[in-house]
Amino acid sequence: MTRESDDTVIESFLDASWMEKGLSANTLAAYRRDLTGFARWLERNSSSLAGVDQALILEYLASGLQRGSSARSAARLLSCLRNFYRHQVREGRIDSDPTLQVQSPRIGRPLPKSLGEDMVERLLAAPDVATPIGLRDRAMLELLYACGMRVSELVTLEVARLNLGQGVVRIMGKGAKERLVPVGDEALAWVQRYLREARPLMVPDGSSPVLFPGRAGKAMTRQTFWHRIKHHARTAGIAQALSPHTLRHAFATHLLNHGADLRVVQMLLGHSDLSTTQIYTHVARERLKQLHARHHPRG
């Protein structure tokens, strides 16, 4: 194939993708950029889009990684090439798909965003506990950090699931799986104070089963509580980007930093698969490396 015919084949593929799949302009532009770059590289290596084999594709992906491309970028590029060559096979331009046996690069899961213990203390202390809303928020943040709950589990938590005498909470997690999690003394004290001083003002008739109601005694939405977290983070002067699960991540990371067993953390988080919990060990290890580098005389 000549360079011009390569360009023609690329445009034909893009037209078909737009008509058959309704791809967005941004996706089509990314496809054009990826395929044109590949075609130019092939031309420099005395080949063309029609003359590609598996070895050339692997070499091209490897060259991108060597230049500093991420595994995610390589996986996206391979996905583009797969779509392109499947289309070429369907159109009868080539006999076989050269991407068929090429494995996608493994993309590491992003490490959870966590907060240091000092920042967690600042966040927990941010709500104005002189107000019912502030006292409710303080109790929610304390419980979230003490138990490692998902925000969705916290906002739907019912009063009946909290055993103040035993200091435990029954959490209904994903897949209707229930787990029993201890509540620390500090969090328990804030929840008890909230129940005495704030909740009766928010639910005068006591009719709502929800522990932390929003307006009209109904369960707060995840989005509403997320806005509350961001508000308190600003008050605390925390510039670090947060997510709704930041305190859950901090719960797991801090437990591991202080020597907790991984399987215990798995049980407390409600993870069905230990590999899901293991990602927190990477966060803990990175923290240990930073401490070592900062404080060890040969760090």
Does the pLDDT at position 295 exceed 60? no
My answer on whether 63 and 197 are in the same domain is no
Please indicate whether residue 280 is annotated as part of the active site. Answer: yes
Please say if the pLDDT value at position 299 is more than 60. Answer: no
239 and 152 fall within a common domain: yes
pLDDT band at 69 (very low <50, low <70, confident <90, very high): confident
Q: Which of 232, 248, 249, 254 is catalytic?
A: 248
> What are the counts of helices (DSSP H) followed by strands (DSSP E) for the chain?
13, 3
Q: Identify whether 98 is part of a domain.
A: no
Which of 221, 219, 200, 199 minimizes the C-alpha distance to 210? 219
Classify residue 105: in a domain, yes or no.
no
By CB atoms closer than 10 A (0-12, 13-18, 19+), residue 265 is buried
Confidence of residue 231 (pLDDT cuts 50, 70, 90): very high
Residue of 87, 199, 232, 271 marked catalytic:
271
Are 276 and 143 within one domain? yes
Q: What is the mean pLDDT of the chain?
A: 85
Look at residue 11 and tell me if it is in a domain: yes
Domain holding 198, by residue range, is 117-295
From 31, 60, 85, 280, the catalytic residue: 280
Asked if 245 is an active-site residue, the reply is: yes
Q: What is the pLDDT of residues 87-145, one digit of tens each?
A: 999 999 899 999 988 887 666 655 566 788 999 999 999 999 999 999 999 999 999 99
Catalytic residue among 3, 33, 90, 174: 174
- The answer to which of 62-66, 162-166, 212-216 has the lowest mean pLDDT is 62-66
Residue 158: give its domain's CATH number.
Answer: 1.10.443.10
Catalytic hit among 87, 138, 150, 249: 150
Residue 65: pLDDT over 90: no
The answer to whether 269 and 144 are in contact (CB under 8 A) is: no
| Same domain, residue pair 61 and 201 | no
**Domain count across the chain:** 2
CATH number of residue 32's parent domain: 1.10.150
Q: Do residues 155 and 285 both lie within one domain?
A: yes
Contact between 280 and 253 (Cβ < 8 Å):
yes
Q: Residue 177: name the closest of 46, 269, 55, 40 by CA.
A: 269
For the entire predicted model, the pTM comes to 0.59
**Catalytic residue among 87, 199, 245, 249, which?**
245
Residue 32 is among the residues annotated as catalytic for this protein? no
The verdict on 134 and 242 lying in the same domain is: yes
Q: What is the pLDDT of residues 246-294, one digit of tens each?
A: 888 888 888 887 877 877 888 888 876 665 666 666 555 555 455 446 6
Q: Say whether 271 is catalytic.
A: yes
Q: Which of 39, 55, 90 is the last residue of a domain?
A: 90
